[in-house]
A and B are shown apart, each in its own frame.
Chain A
């Protein structure tokens, strides 16, 4: 079975632009979480979605938004990009909501903001 997939792999944007990142969970998984990993740091939680509803949100500004589709895939949108948004964005899927469930991570999207 395919693991978690993310697209694109790499992305370069300039300050002020908007970006959309995509994630497809493992088949049968209904929960998707997004994490931001700045170089040299651990991942930071952004959102968790379960059954198309937001179940948790981390300490990120409103410029960050996400949604989950009926097929459980998800998009993360970031508006008005800042240099500090440059990071690896990781998507994780799990069978159910709640971080205690085993989460399977995708390879990430590396975003560079110039």
Chain B
């Protein structure tokens, strides 16, 4: 069975600090996909990134970066120089190759204080 664990429930930082969100996953499949979504107070889930299990390259998009390590089954997300607009709940999710569902972690609430 697939499982996603986000051990950090809440993180609070001051603006311009970096924040790293941890995500650990479990799956028996060799082909799978990992995702990060952002959920602002409005409730709508916003897609941030998708990686497949064969692509371990780290990725950077503006102030966002992702570190995928198969050896530790982790897919961590870093926000550099955080801003108040980054305040939201962030979810890590996993999909196995032939599956129809996303399995989400419990989410990490990030609060960025001015």
Contacts and interface: CB of A to CB of B under 8 A. Distances in A.
Interface of B: 4, 33, 37, 42-47, 50, 52, 91, 93, 95, 97-107
A110 B102 CA distance: 20
A45 B103 contact: yes
B106 to A, nearest CB: 5
B43 A100 contact: no
A45 B102 contact: yes
Given A105-B44, A107-B42, A107-B43, A97 B100 contact: yes
Given A107-B43, A108-B43, A99 B100 contact: yes
Interface of A: 33, 35, 40-45, 48, 55-56, 58, 88, 90, 92, 97-100, 102-108, 110
Nearest to B42: A107
Contact of A90 (B45, B50, B103): B45
B45 A43 contact: yes
A41 B107 contact: yes
A48 B100 contact: yes
A99 B107 contact: no
A78 B97 CA distance: 29
